[in-house]
Amino acid sequence: MVEFNWVTALLGGVLIGISATLLLAFNGRIAGISGMVNGAITFKPQETWRWVFLFGMVLGGGLYEYALAPQPTPLSSFVPGAMILGGLLVGIGTRIGTGCTSGHGVCGLGRLSPRSLMAVITFLSTAMVTVFVIRHVVAI
């Protein structure tokens, strides 16, 4: 079993905060990843910054996993179909909620947005209920 490492969690949080702050300071944009992906697929030349930011996220995660992580990330035991369904449901939720955890949680709370506070409370409550149901009721 992989042990929780608070140092890497803290470092990851700091890096997310810095990247969101720099994007807002230099580009005037909120680092909401679902909105960024949605805008990136429009293929407009003036939207190149979205692709650069998204590529940097993937590159940074890959760099950590393959070059810096003290041990590999454990594989999930969930069925791929369930993960795909979960991803689709999250995508639908981000459209209904007009934003995702990064936009509301990282950027919205930092701007003291009441709407973002309610969104984050909803995200976390739903996540806690889902984990409880999956682990203790359905027992997957």
Which whole number is the average pLDDT over 127-134? 91
For the chain, domain boundaries: 6-137
The three-state DSSP-derived secondary structure of the chain is CCCCCHHHHHHHHHHHHHHHHHHHHHHCCCCCHHHHHHHHCCCCHHHHHHHHHHHHHHHHHHHHHHHHCCCCCCCCCCCHHHHHHHHHHHHHHHHHCCCCHHHHHHHHHHCCCHHHHHHHHHHHHHHHHHHHHHHHHCCC
Q: pLDDT tens digit string along 94-112? A: 888 788 888 888 888 888 9
Task: Identify the pLDDT of residue 114.
Answer: 94
Q: pLDDT tens digit string along 18-69? A: 988 998 899 888 888 888 888 888 878 888 889 998 999 899 888 888 888 7
Position 2 pLDDT exceeds 80: no
Task: Identify the pLDDT of residue 110.
Answer: 85
